[in-house]
A and B are shown apart, each in its own frame.
Chain A
Amino acid sequence: MSNAINRASWNVHWKMTESAGLMIYLANYKGRRILWDASLPYVTIDHQVESLTLDEGDNQGHGPFWVPLGAGTQAGPVRVDDFRGGFELAVDFAAGPFAYTQLWRFHSDGRLAPWLTIHGPGVHDAHTYHPHWRFDFDLDGAPGDALERFEDGRWERVGEEGWFPFTGEGDEGGAAWRQIDFGSGASLNIRPHHWEDAELYAIRYHDGEWPPTSPHSESGGQTFPAAYIGNEPLDDKDVTLWYVAHVHYDLAFPFTSGPWIRVDGF
């Protein structure tokens, strides 16, 4: 199967990674560059203590664990299917009591859906999934981009690297954040899933700050991508975005997590 797809106004490449799921790279929409690469570096899983004890020290629960989604946990071939108005890539992963389906959906109207269906069942009921997507969008080229978030009824420019949780506010299309390109005036609008406590990390692109091979940066320190965040300006720079979801397990599983992304201005 060729790893280049040219359909529905999109031209994308894909590959299976060792730990970051199904990666999309060099993706163009209507002949213009949208992203350099995008992947799912990891899904961490936290567990909560279900019963309280008198000893407060025992109530902290365990730290997170995770298993790479990649060739080692792939549970079937990558499927490329057409649907009305676009096409999608899908692949299943299985690791013990954890099962996932990673999806990349491309719509001819410029929408892009990087999704993850989480099947469970997990170790026990009280656990939370934290899928981390990393997007290196290059709107019409790498530099000259910026990030805005929708706040107090209008779009506000983000000055520096940082963490931007979803507050429940969005524009008329539901987008809470958008990456914009000054040269072309194009934008990528990100609409979070309303039921997954999404947050966005915005980091200036640096050669050397590649996707980490683990969320663990150092003992007691911040995990990635938070460990990458400094005070660097983002305005008119090359920006890398991390979309992190927090999905608590419940009886309604499977749950499909992930944002809607819409290309505007092309």
Chain B
Amino acid sequence: MARAKRSAPARKGGGAKKTAKAAAKAAKAVTKAAKAATKPTTAQKKGTGATRKAEKAKEKAKKTAVRAVARASASHARTARAAARKATRAAKPLRGSTITRRRAPAGRKNTAPGDASLFAPLTAGERADALRTLTEDKRIAPMAKVGRYRVISAEPMTVKPPEPLSGRRLARVVIYDYSGDRCVEACVDLDGNAVAHLRTSRAQPMLCREEEAAAVAIAQADDRVKAELSLSDEPLLAMHYWSDRDTDLAYSRRSAAVLFGRPGERPSLIAVVDLLDGHVTEVTPAASW
């Protein structure tokens, strides 16, 4: 009801005066130029002709107000840009001294808790599954057919979001292929029963326990090693080894260093074993290793 009462006079012709007043008030609130809008009020007192004048004054006041607002906005923008430039200049000499926060694009940030169960050791069945899936892959069929390879490790692996394999049960299998003198590394998707990644390289993975045992047996059977060992010496350790000298066989061939000595003491002898051909390539007193 109150709203109807206020709008009624405007329909009767006296509204021009009040509208002009309201426009003038609005303009005044924005800028001093809007003060001109108060003139129609005087003109209205002089009759109908004055009403037209008041309308013109209203239009003028409106335009003035719009220009004032535009000027004010431009001024504000200039002020903001100047402040930004100042802030940038101030920050530049301190490059990297403070951590700048940047707003991450929506949906980009990933703070997912991760599934701890995906890190759990492979079960015997999962390990068998991974090896079977891998050796049935056509890409390494020649290796599987010859059967001269060692499984170095089969361990669970996890992939972080947002990678496509994240959240899946994966096994990382590393094989050393003696027939091709190469390393085969694969990621097997146990959920999807598929080889997700396969890579072959000339890298030398660690020795598996069977290779360590083989290296010890080869070294123990070598006549030069036997001649150098004392009665109480025994194999202490087989370590993965490669030589820095390109004239050594161990520079490029899969090798182990077998340490001999008395348990609890420093080794007395080191034998380098070429695991590809199964023979000792170097016998060195430990003190001059």
Question: Measuring CB to CB, which residues of chain A are less than 8 angstroms from any residue of chain B?
Answer: 4, 13, 15, 17-19, 23, 25-26, 32-33, 36-37, 42, 47, 49-51, 57, 60-68, 72, 95-98, 121-124, 136, 138, 140-144, 148, 154-157, 180, 182-187, 205, 207-208, 210, 212-214, 216-220, 236, 238, 265
Contact = CB atoms under 8 A, between A and B. Distances in A.
A62 B201 contact: no
Contacts of A19: 153, 206
A6 B265 CA distance: 41
Contacts of B101: 182-185
Interface of B: 94-97, 99-104, 108-114, 116, 119-121, 152-153, 155, 157-161, 163, 165, 172, 174, 185, 187, 197, 199, 201-206, 209, 236-237, 239-246, 250-252, 257, 259, 261, 265-267, 270, 284, 286-289
Contacts of A122: 266
Contacts of B187: 208
Contacts, number: 183
A49 B245 CA distance: 14
Contacts of A216: 203-205, 240, 242
B209 A72 contact: yes
Contact of A13 (B96, B116, B153, B287): B116
Contacts of B284: 62
Contacts of A61: 244
B95 A142 contact: no
B267 A156 contact: no
Contact of A66 (B165, B239, B265): B239
B102 A144 contact: yes
A97 B237 contact: yes
A123 B239 CA distance: 12
Contacts of B120: 15
A136 B114 CA distance: 14
A25 to B, nearest CB: 5
A68 B204 CA distance: 13
B111 A141 contact: yes
B121 to A, nearest CB: 7
Most buried by B among A13, A57, A66: A66
Given A96-B237, A207-B159, A220-B251, A183 B109 contact: yes
B116 A96 contact: no
Nearest to B244: A63
A95 to B, nearest CB: 5
A62 B289 contact: yes
A95 B212 CA distance: 12
Given A13-B119, A96-B237, A138-B160, A214 B203 contact: yes
B254 to A, nearest CB: 10
Nearest to B157: A210
A96 B287 CA distance: 15
B97 A155 contact: yes
19 contacts: A18-B153, A25-B116, A47-B289, A49-B288, A60-B244, A61-B244, A63-B251, A67-B237, A67-B240, A123-B259, A138-B160, A154-B97, A180-B99, A183-B101, A183-B104, A207-B160, A210-B157, A216-B203, A236-B102
Contacts of B185: 213
A66 B237 CA distance: 10
Contacts of B288: 49-51
Contacts of B205: 213-214, 216
Given A97-B259, A143-B104, A218 B203 contact: yes
